[in-house]
Amino acid sequence: MTESSDYSQDPICRLCEVPYADHPRCQCCGIYCGPGHFREEVSRYRGKALCGLCIEEWKAMEKRVGHKVLWEVFLNRDKHYRADGQPLKEARR
């Protein structure tokens, strides 16, 4: 039997040995910890629980588009904006 790389199916996290029901999730990508992606604890970035990769992405985006736009995108990301911060209407053109 081969070892599965899908950690979300396990009831206990293989890295921190915490049950997934009690495990923090990244509020950006929704991923639990996994090899090479998630630090052992969720980091807090400006009040949001984000994994290490998402923190780096959000810092880079904040430098490009500014703090106000970044958080408008974060709070309404699925409804109104693409991942690069462009409004959906403009993104479809």
Q: What is the largest CA-CA distance in the chain?
A: 49
pLDDT in tens, 11-23: 666 656 666 666 6
**pLDDT at residue 29, as a whole number:** 74
CA 7 – CA 15 distance, rounded (Å): 10
**pLDDT at residue 18, as a whole number:** 65
- Where on the phi/psi map is residue 46: left (φ > 0), alpha (ψ -120 to 50), or beta? left
Global pTM reads 0.43
**pLDDT exceeds cutoff 60 at 4:** no
**pLDDT at residue 72, as a whole number:** 67
| Residue ranges per structural domain of the chain | 7-92
pLDDT in tens, 25-72: 777 777 655 444 445 455 666 667 777 777 788 788 888 888 777 766
Helix (H) or strand (E) holding 45: strand 43-45
